[in-house]
Amino acid sequence: AAVPSGASTGEFEALEMRDGGKAYMGKGVLNAVKNVNEIIAPALIGKDVKEQVAIDKYMVETLDGTQNEWGWCKKKLGANAILGVSLAVCRAGAAARKVPLWQHIADLAGNPSPCLPVPSFNIINGGSHAGNKLAMQEFMILPVGAESFTEAMKIGSEVYHNLKKVINKRYGLDATAVGDEGGFAPNIQSNGEAIDLIEEAINNAGYTGKVRLGMDVASSEFYTGVEDNRYNLDFKNPNAPDSEKLPADKLQELYEGFIAKTKDTSPIVSIEDPFDQDDWNSWIKFTAAVGQDVQIVGDDLTVTNPTRVKKAIDTKACNALLLKVNQIGSISESIEAVTMAKKAGWAIMTSHRSGETEDTFIADLAVGLSAGQIKTGAPCR
């Protein structure tokens, strides 16, 4: 098992333990590994790997035991230590039962009908994932018109390569360099221009009508704070003009303009983290306005945390959950968050992290939980 990390992380994610100091720029994980070897491993010897919930509960509540207002925060051992073991136990449980991993996950969740997801391809990178001027972090395509996962991969790949041609023709070859998640990172500032580039690529590939658009705004990355209470669309510029700093209502108008602009070609069907992780009122207002037609995805807002998911359900702050297992730190808690969201009628999108590993666990997770959607970067990732 391998545990990923994220470049843009939510304030309310469970603690990712790092070593600090000079080695690896402070990002080493030797202390987390030590916690696995010296505390977790000896305590789990002899336990039944098929008992996922019991083992996760024991690690989280007994071996770690740290809590904050949002639940078990894994501050003692580190969510990255606990999750690595939780993933390994889940794989071992599948092996012990002699079933595929996706089937084991489905059984743990009580899901009788596992299914393949629609892939969401992040084909233009901005925000904290790229060195360009774009404030919004991910511009995605979802091939919802595909008849199979295989066809969806074909559509996504062809649009991606057509996009490279469009960007090369308009800005030159150096504009086709890629960001953290494999999407192109042309040095443009207009978020609307990114959408225009993708629509041209979809049309050139011959897939207009088969593809929908999605965005991960990651707006917590450019929120100016509670006192100023604006969103800085030129946040990479230390001398950003005031005209680029929008209050929440103006930012909502910008999103609504994008939705209206694309509705007859490649409609925007998904917007993730449109507002800051604590700007609950703006989330509630936006979901009430567009939630019938667009999935409003909670990532930094919900951080795969059942307590925050419940608050979002109760307040109608969003209508879809981004599932990132390392945000919460165990498979059981991840399943709990998904189950809760599904009961509320939410959509689910399984997600990688920008600091992803070669571990393919989330592919089985998406299938086993019938998440319906998965995003793992661009086709080149």
Which among 45, 48, 108, 44 is positioned nearest to 77, based on CA atoms?
44
| Whole-number Å distance between alpha carbons of 381 and 281 | 36
| Whole-number Å distance between alpha carbons of 227 and 301 | 19
40 and 128 co-located in one domain? no
95 and 244 co-located in one domain? no
| Whole-number Å distance between alpha carbons of 88 and 104 | 13
**Is the CA virtual torsion 296, 298, 299, 300 positive or negative?**
positive
What pLDDT score does 259 carry?
Answer: 98
Classify burial at 7, counting beta carbons within 10 Å of its beta carbon; exposed 0-12, middle 13-18, buried 19 or more: middle
Task: Return the number of other C-beta atoms located less than 10 Å from residue 344's C-beta.
Answer: 15
CATH value at residue 30: 3.30.390.10
What pLDDT score does 370 carry?
Answer: 99
Kindly state whether residue 152 falls inside one of the protein's structural domains: yes
The answer to whether the CB of 139 falls within 8 A of the CB of 240 is no
SS3 for 60? helix
pLDDT in tens, the chain (381 residues): 999 888 767 788 888 999 999 999 999 999 999 999 999 999 999 999 999 999 999 999 999 999 999 999 999 999 999 999 999 999 999 999 999 999 999 999 999 999 999 999 999 999 988 889 999 999 999 999 999 999 999 999 999 999 999 999 999 999 999 998 999 999 998 999 999 999 999 999 999 999 999 999 999 999 999 999 999 999 999 999 999 999 999 999 999 999 999 999 999 999 999 999 999 999 999 999 999 999 999 999 999 999 999 999 999 999 999 999 999 999 999 999 999 999 999 999 999 987 888 999 999 999 999 999 999 999 998
The answer to whether the CB of 337 falls within 8 A of the CB of 306 is yes
Which of 48, 72, 101 corresponds to the end of one domain?
101
CATH value at residue 362: 3.20.20.120
96 and 124 co-located in one domain? no
Kindly state whether residue 331 falls inside one of the protein's structural domains: yes
88 and 123 co-located in one domain? no
Which pTM does this prediction carry? Answer: 0.95
123 and 37 co-located in one domain? no
The answer to whether the CB of 189 falls within 8 A of the CB of 134 is yes
44 and 156 co-located in one domain? no
239 and 199 co-located in one domain? yes
| Whole-number Å distance between alpha carbons of 334 and 306 | 8
Kindly state whether residue 355 falls inside one of the protein's structural domains: yes
Task: Return the number of other C-beta atoms located less than 10 Å from residue 299's C-beta.
Answer: 28
Give the residue numbers annotated as catalytic, written as ranges.
181, 324
Per-residue CA distances from 148 to 116, 152, 272, 369 (Å): 9, 6, 25, 18
176 and 28 co-located in one domain? no
126 and 45 co-located in one domain? no
Structure tokens that stand for 117 in this block: 């997801």
Query: Residue 241 sits in which domain range?
Result: 118-375
Q: How many domains does the chain have?
A: 2
What pLDDT score does 8 carry?
Answer: 66
What pLDDT score does 362 carry?
Answer: 97
Kindly state whether residue 208 falls inside one of the protein's structural domains: yes
What pLDDT score does 128 carry?
Answer: 85
SS3 for 272? strand
Kindly state whether residue 158 falls inside one of the protein's structural domains: yes
The answer to whether the CB of 87 falls within 8 A of the CB of 36 is no
| Whole-number Å distance between alpha carbons of 330 and 194 | 36
What pLDDT score does 152 carry?
Answer: 98
128 and 157 co-located in one domain? yes
38 and 87 co-located in one domain? yes
Kindly state whether residue 113 falls inside one of the protein's structural domains: no
